Amino acid sequence: MAGSKTIVTIGRQYGSGGREVGSRLAEQLGIGFYDKNILRMNSDESGIKESYFHMADEKAGNKLLYKILSGMRPEVGQPSFSSDLTSADNLFRFQSEVIRKLAQAESCVIIGRCADYILKNADSLLRVFIYADMDYRIKRITGLGYYEPKDVEKNIRRMDKERRDYYRYFTGRNWEDMFNYDLMINTSVIGTEGAVEMIRGYLNGRQD
């Protein structure tokens, strides 16, 4: 499998360091990195295409994403640009099409957004789930200063629930079910750098 494409999707519990793992992995492998901020559309934006163009243009190195978006046109079964522009289902269809096109075009790491499910039939796909003990996650999120210390655990649980509900709604699956993934990593045991090394080792072993 030498020289083949590498597609890594990373689902993650809030505070587990999954985004950091994905970013470092992509950097070390020299491949594209796409996170939820690139692939997400806020409902209060004026239009789906304009909003995605804006987000893609703000991110250095995302010329591919911009090219994909600029070439998208509404077709049968494709995302709508009409009255249901910002409906949750339409946004998911649009996002899913972008994810599929990214994976077809290049090796990359994609964070969240049900990418493991969307790309389940893709070649050279590695589906990773990053999780961690609650104490570890509380420490990480507290250090970021997003919430008052007393509210950290409550918000971790809230974010996990939102991700769990989102995944179930669009896939019909349990977000934390090990059978949805090829590799599940506890960062409270080996840290984010250890997780990156574990994923790279798995990829190398799979290619032998």
pLDDT tens column, 144-173: 998 999 999 999 999 999 999 989 998 999
Please tell me the chain's helix, strand, coil percentages from 3-state DSSP, rounded to the nearest 5: 55, 10, 35
CATH class of 1-31+108-208: alpha beta
Residue 64 has what pLDDT?
58
Cβ partners under 8 Å of residue 11, min gap 6: 18, 112, 116, 127, 128, 129, 130, 163, 167, 175, 180, 181
* CA pair distance 127, 10, nearest whole angstrom: 6
Q: Are strands 125-131 and 7-12 parallel, antiparallel or unpaired?
A: parallel
- Predicted confidence at residue 65, as pLDDT, reads 56
What pLDDT was estimated at residue 101? Answer: 86
pTM of the full structure: 0.78
Domain(s) of CATH 3.40.50.300: residues in the chain: 1-31+108-208
Give me the pLDDT at residue 207, please.
59
Q: Cα dihedral sign for 30, 36, 39, 42?
A: negative
Which residue ranges in the chain fall short of pLDDT 70? 1-3, 36-88, 207-208
Identify residue 118 by its one-letter amino acid code. Answer: I
Position 57 scores a pLDDT of 41
Rounded to 10°, the helix 18-29/187-207 angle is: 30
Dihedral, CA of residue 124, residue 125, residue 131 and residue 136, to nearest 10 = 50
The C-alpha atoms of residue 57 and residue 28 are separated, in whole angstroms, by 24
Residues 6 or more apart in contact with residue 55 via CB below 8 angstroms: 37, 38
